[in-house]
């Protein structure tokens, strides 16, 4: 049994360490969590193997043989020495692992100086990211933008039910709970694009409650923030700088495939998108007025295409897209639907 257990444990541990359980980590918090995960695997696999080996061996070695149907086993009154061992050893293992996990948790949740605060609002079924600004007018986006190597504090809340904010590449995740604000700390370490997912079953659109985290160089992040602020600054003056119809349509197409993320759910030949979560826009847009298209974007439950469910399309595009992007989308969709 010892030989079988040792070989099975070695194979199990090798397999567990060889499998890539998570995507490549993209935050400072990733390494300590991955190491903790590996240690837990290394410790638990021999225990699993030990328990399974004893159970399987006992079931085979002490099975009932013909003629033993009415026999009873010998009475057992316990074995103090054995019980001390099997209580003490698991206790030592558990206390050690808990202490180690606590140290890791303390380390990854450490408050860092000069944190960037990003508010995360969850709603069935969309994420809204809000960047508070000194002038009191926050930048709002439905995609997450972060500067590399900058400590970030997420303040997370929910406007309806339980959700869970998770960027697998950052490892850490936390529930979005109605009525309270939960916190998460992350320092992105790699420039790139990483999925943001909801990790709490929250309703029919749970699987499409996704967004994208863009980790940019600090300079590129500042440029993004400045470009997001620009339309808001001009908004008081009647929609900012006037765009020609062609420019508006071009902005709409960019928004469709980019910031809006519309192509992820909708098929539209002109934009080269093939999403199938929402209605095929090449078909349903035909003959729609600009007003109808605008209503469908900002108030998606107002009318639902036959065969589709309410509450699947994010209801927050009016907040996350600039007025100009929205105008652009409407102009673009009205143009391609003709």
Contacting residues toward ligand CUA, per CB under 6 A:
122, 125, 163, 198, 200-202, 206, 209
Smallest separation (angstroms) from ligand CUA to the CB of 166: 10
CB of 121 to ligand CUA, least distance (A): 12
Chain centre to alpha carbon of residue 98: 26
Q: Which is nearer to ligand CUA, 87 or 181 (CB)?
A: 181
- Is the Cβ of residue 200 or residue 228 nearer to ligand CUA in the bound state? 200
Residue 16: phi, psi to the nearest 5?
-65, -35
Supply angle C-alpha 183, 97, 172, rounded to 5: 25
Query: DSSP labels for 148-175?
Result: TT--EEEEEEESSS-EEEE-GGG--EEE
Please say which residue, 235 or 264, places its beta carbon nearer to ligand CUA: 264
Between residues 221 and 317, which has the closer beta carbon with respect to ligand CUA? 317
Ramachandran angles phi, psi of 65, nearest 5°: -105, 160
Question: What is the C-alpha to C-alpha distance for residues 27 and 5, in angstroms, rounded to an integer?
Answer: 37
Toward ligand CUA, which CB reaches closer, 156 or 336? 156
Residue-wise DSSP of 21-76: -SPPP-BTTHHHHHHHHHHHHHHHHHHHHHHHHHHHHHHHHT---TT-TT--PPP-
What's the closest the beta carbon of residue 310 comes to ligand CUA, in angstroms? 16
Between 198 and 268, CB nearer to ligand CUA: 198
Residues 6+ positions from 323 with CB-CB distance below 8 Å: 231, 235, 239, 240
- Shortest separation between residue 158's beta carbon and ligand CUA, angstroms: 8
Minimum CB–partner distance for residue 195 and ligand CUA (Å): 14
Radius of gyration, alpha carbons of the chain: 28
Query: Closest distance between ligand CUA and the C-beta of residue 222, in Å?
Result: 31
């Amino acid at each position: 049994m010892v030989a079988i257990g040792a070989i099975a444990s070695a194979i199990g541990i090798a397999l567990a360490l060889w499998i890539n359980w998570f995507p490549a980590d993209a935050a400072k918090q990733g390494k300590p969590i991955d190491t903790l995960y590996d240690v837990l695997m290394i410790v638990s696999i021999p225990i699993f193997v030990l328990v399974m080996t004893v159970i399987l061996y006992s079931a085979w070695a002490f099975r009932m043989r013909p003629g033993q149907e009415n026999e009873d086993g010998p009475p057992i009154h316990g074995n103090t020495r054995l019980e001390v061992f099997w209580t003490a050893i698991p206790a030592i293992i558990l206390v050690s692992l808990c202490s180690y996990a606590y140290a890791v948790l303390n380390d990854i949740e450490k408050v860092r100086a000069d944190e960037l605060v990003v508010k995360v609002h969850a709603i069935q079924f969309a994420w809204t990211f809000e960047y508070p600004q000194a002038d009191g007018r926050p930048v709002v986006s439905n995609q997450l933008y972060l500067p590399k190597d900058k400590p970030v504090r997420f303040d997370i809340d929910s406007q309806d039910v339980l959700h869970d904010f998770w960027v697998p590449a950052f490892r850490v995740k936390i529930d979005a709970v109605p009525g309270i604000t939960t916190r998460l700390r992350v320092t992105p370490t790699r420039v790139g694009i990483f999925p943001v997912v909801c990790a709490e079953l929250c309703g029919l659109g749970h699987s499409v409650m996704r967004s994208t985290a863009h980790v940019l160089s600090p300079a590129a992040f500042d440029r993004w923030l400045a470009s997001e602020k620009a339309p808001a600054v001009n908004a008081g003056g009647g929609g900012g700088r006037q765009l020609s119809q062609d420019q508006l349509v071009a902005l709409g197409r960019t928004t469709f495939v980019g910031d809006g993320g519309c192509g992820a759910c909708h098929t539209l030949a002109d934009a080269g998108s093939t999403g199938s979560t929402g209605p095929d826009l090449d078909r349903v847009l035909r003959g729609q007025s600009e007003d109808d298209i605008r209503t469908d974007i900002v108030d998606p439950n107002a009318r639902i295409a036959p065969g589709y469910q309410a509450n699947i399309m994010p209801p927050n595009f009016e907040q996350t897209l600039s007025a100009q992007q929205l105008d652009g989308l409407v102009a673009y969709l009205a143009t391609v639907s003709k």
